[in-house]
A and B are shown apart, each in its own frame.
Chain A
């Protein structure tokens, strides 16, 4: 894949780290490399990975989206509520996806028209979407026991769990968008220097709205997978998951300053985090330590990135 001004080294680098981690874990525990555990791992990683794809685009554009966890919950609740009244699951899914995209559109409008920094705008949406999810459900979790969602959550196709296909298609499509289209080029330009992008006639506001819509849409897509996995839509679902998505992007080596990075590294970043969690679980190490370790990994990842860019 040819990306303007971006070498493929970061991808190779982070891939090596991930492989090394997998090798170490498979030596430490015979259970790590089993089919059962790998299936488990890929399910664990799928939600964060889908969110990380959207977050990567947002961060490359120089922004941030703190609202993806709440948008996920709101979209899931819309799906759950419609299933409750016997709406066709496919239509409920489309309504859920529309909800997430609309929330992203609102984010984009607040950021561009209201001239409010992405951190603040999406922090607001974090509260609004979560609150709406609670209002709609009155705090109750809906059960979603229809075959369509049970299939998404539990079935396998060609031996691989369905959520994995969601992840692969997401990264394929987002990678093509970012690295091969005019939209993607504009994302890099805006992240590189927004003022220059504006001077050179890039429709910065319109592209930013699209970026946050994409992130909202992917949050809703993650909600579809989440609904399948849980067979329910608790309004408190995915709390704090936005931080995991951001961490995955950062561990993957996407620059927080914007303008640099490859979407695919976010997937590997998500994998590394999931492997740490999963590996420590297998080894019987307290989940309290997992948080400490992931925190350290985030800082080390950025530190290594700084060292590389100083050269």
Chain B
């Protein structure tokens, strides 16, 4: 483990939707500068767990700690205030707006309510340059850009505001191979800057090669949390499907 104090700790999280138990006593820990893969098939509870961290859902029970202090996250703005940002697979940008408008969406720079367009454009340029993202013109609508460029804008938006924790919910699902590679290169860059990254993906190959640790959920419960390389790809797949941990000495117990 790179650091004894986790960036995020989610403890004993339970959530039900009506009579359906989505999560039971689920755990998650994320350390600075690591990529944590969250795995599980549809309905395993991984999206619910992540949505609770992002503030899109609230847990029925359990607690969240950010850098050792209990955090109260009731909506996406609360999560942001704790430095938690989310990137969605559906490329969550407004296609009718340009890159700076998207980077600053919801937290526009202004003076007495009037937009500071030049300042936002200059800052957005810096943010994109910092991640080596090349975009021909910042004035065009993002709708006319490629999926990779748009995801790059999402990422630069997410990390522009003193972000410590980045949730990436299937960030490559809507992208081609070349564009996915670009997103992963960006993610490595963020990792170097000490940001903790939660990586959700259905692509086992991608998870196996790219994440430092994994946690597998099944039926709303943790199956295993361990360094990725302790298992083979086949073992990971089997744990996702069966929900039964493959025994590996000390590190196999859930949590």
Which residues of A are at the interface with B, using a C-beta cutoff of 8 A?
Answer: 2, 4-5, 180-185, 188-189, 191-193, 195-197, 199-202, 259-260
Contacts and interface: CB of A to CB of B under 8 A. Distances in A.
B105 A200 contact: yes
Contacts of A181: 110, 113-115
Contact of B140 (A5, A183, A193): A5
Contacts of B96: 5, 188, 191-193, 259-260
A184 B108 CA distance: 11
A5 B141 contact: yes
9 contacts: A4-B100, A5-B98, A181-B115, A185-B97, A189-B94, A192-B94, A192-B95, A196-B94, A201-B76
Interface residues of B, number: 28
Given A5-B139, A182-B113, A193-B95, 10 more contacts: A2-B117, A4-B100, A180-B114, A185-B97, A193-B92, A197-B106, A199-B56, A199-B92, A201-B80, A201-B106
B175 interface: no
Given A182-B108, A188-B96, A199-B88, A4 B101 contact: yes
A284 to B, nearest CB: 45
B134 interface: no
Contact of A189 (B76, B97, B110, B117): B97
Contacts of B98: 4-5
A188 B97 contact: yes
A182 B142 CA distance: 19
A182 B141 CA distance: 18
B106 A200 contact: yes
Contacts of A259: 94-96
B223 interface: no
B248 interface: no
B140 A185 contact: no
B101 A185 contact: yes
Interface in B226-251: none
B110 A182 contact: yes
Contact of B115 (A182, A189, A200): A182
A259 B113 CA distance: 20
The residue among B80, B88, B115 with the most chain A CB atoms within 10 A of its own CB is B115
B93 interface: yes
Contacts of A201: 76-77, 80, 105-107
B94 A193 contact: yes
A191 B139 CA distance: 19
Contacts of A5: 96-98, 101, 139-142
Given A182-B115, A201-B106, A196 B92 contact: yes
The residue among A184, A193, A196, A260 with the most chain B CB atoms within 10 A of its own CB is A196
B121 to A, nearest CB: 10
B80 A196 contact: no
A185 B108 contact: yes
Contacts of A200: 92, 105-106
A185 B105 CA distance: 8
A183 B115 CA distance: 9
Contacts of A191: 96
Given A180-B114, A202-B105, A202-B106, A4 B76 contact: no
Contacts of A260: 96
Nearest to A203: B106
Contacts of A202: 105-106
A193 B96 CA distance: 8
B114 A197 contact: no
Contacts of A189: 94, 97, 101, 105-106
Contacts of B114: 180-182
B137 to A, nearest CB: 11
Nearest to A2: B117
B138 to A, nearest CB: 10
Nearest to B107: A201
Nearest to A261: B96
Interface string B78-99: 0010000010100011111110
A275 B140 CA distance: 35
Contacts of B88: 199
A244 to B, nearest CB: 26
